[in-house]
Amino acid sequence: MLGRLRVQFVLASTFVLLLVLTLVMGPVYFLVRSSVSSQMEMILDVLIQNDGYMPTRTVHIDGGTFISVTEEQQYEVRYFSVILDEEGEAAMINTESVATIDDEEALKISRQVRILGAPVGRFSYDGSRYIYKMERRPDADLIVFADWTSRYWIIHQTMYYLIIVGLVILLIYSTLMVALSTRIVQPFIENQERQKRFITNASHELKTPLAVISANTEMIELENGKSKWTEATMRQVKRLGALVSELVTLSKLDEKDEIVLSDVDVSAVANEQAESFEEVVTTQGKTFEKSIDDAVIVKAEKRSVTELCSILLDNAAKYCDEGGCVRIELTGGRNARLSVTNDYAAGEGVDYRRFFDRFYREDESHNSKKSGFGIGLSIAQEIARKIGARIQVAYKNKKISFSILFR
């Protein structure tokens, strides 16, 4: 129990930290990328406005932006530009600011860009990365290219370092959480242990007076015969006895070691439980139906599957409407499904998620004639979790259905 809670705590807290790091570092990366892209677009706009050359003055760009370019800054930008006439011949080629591309290569690249027709784009050439922009003019096309290799690596290094920093933070945090998790979860474990000890001790203490009350009542009945008072006393003794047993079962569920799963014939278990409850249901004036596929085998524990069937059938028998129908159904296939359905006209608007809360009863007045305590479905949910199954509840056409989905 302690180990499982520690793992869950560490995983949950690490996931939250990962989410926070993503929300913080993600925008940082996109801001850097956006800033670099804006700079390159600005450079291309300057080149376009100056017919493919980098000026040494203050430049006004469409949109109200002013850029001051010094003579030194001219050499910081590696670029080349070409003007192609209508026949595809070069009216101007400027390759003074690049060393790896000559006039012939610049003309060839420009013609390929013109054929593609995209006004803006990116490409790699001889190990370098370029971004280009094309401006169509009445008698020619101006195409400018800027080398953004260094800026490209700035973006990728930013992403690389952000990932490394994030992983280091996660590693340090996870290590600290693993070291401190025992101390952090220990109070919760101790509190749960105290609750379980209280339930167990209280249950044992209640058994003795219940046994005495039962024995004394039986003696009174032997001497004076049965009366409505002795019968009422015996009914309450049985109710309290059942409550004590369910409390003990509930408190011990978490104490069990991990269940060893094996092949279980759910069809045989379901048929056996159906036979046991059919008479209980029919003697109450209700209808009992079953539809159980043959040879449905699942990985589970036979005792747990039996308890699940018993709890769901007992719940259906108690809460089925007068003259209603209880139906058990088992379907095989890739994911076996065991369902128990009963008529329940009063189920409209009920919060079915609370049905699995301990001691929850839909009739909050506790004056219901039903004999349950609101523990059975909680026990069923815990048993299902132990064997790796899921329990679901659904309400449709005035019928309520509880289903076990086996893996």
2-155 folds as Beta-Lactamase (3.30.450)
Give dist(CA 76, CA 146) in Å, integer. 11
Q: Where are the domains of the chain?
A: 2-155, 262-405
pLDDT value of position 369: 47
Sequence letter at residue 211: A
Please tell me what DSSP assigns to residue 321: P
Give residue 378's Cα distance to chain centre: 22
What architecture does CATH give domain 262-405?
Answer: 2-Layer Sandwich (3.30)
Please tell me what DSSP assigns to residue 299: E
Six-digit token pair at 375?
Answer: 């523990």
pLDDT value of position 130: 92
Per-residue pLDDT of the chain (407 residues; tens, 9 = 90+): 566 777 888 888 899 999 999 999 999 999 998 988 888 888 898 888 888 888 766 555 555 554 555 566 666 788 999 999 988 899 999 998 888 899 999 999 999 999 988 899 998 888 889 999 999 888 899 999 999 888 888 888 999 999 999 999 999 998 888 888 777 777 777 776 776 677 666 766 777 787 888 888 888 888 888 888 888 888 778 777 766 776 666 666 655 556 678 899 999 999 999 998 998 899 999 999 999 999 899 988 888 899 889 889 988 998 899 999 999 999 987 789 999 999 988 877 776 666 776 555 555 444 444 544 457 788 888 888 888 898 888 888 889 999 999 97
pLDDT value of position 319: 86
H-helix or E-strand spanning residue 380:
helix 376-386
CB atoms within 10 A of CB 102: 12
Six-digit token pair at 252?
Answer: 């011990």
CB atoms within 10 A of CB 14: 16
Helix axes 228-253, 149-224, angle to 10 degrees: 150
Please tell me what DSSP assigns to residue 369: S
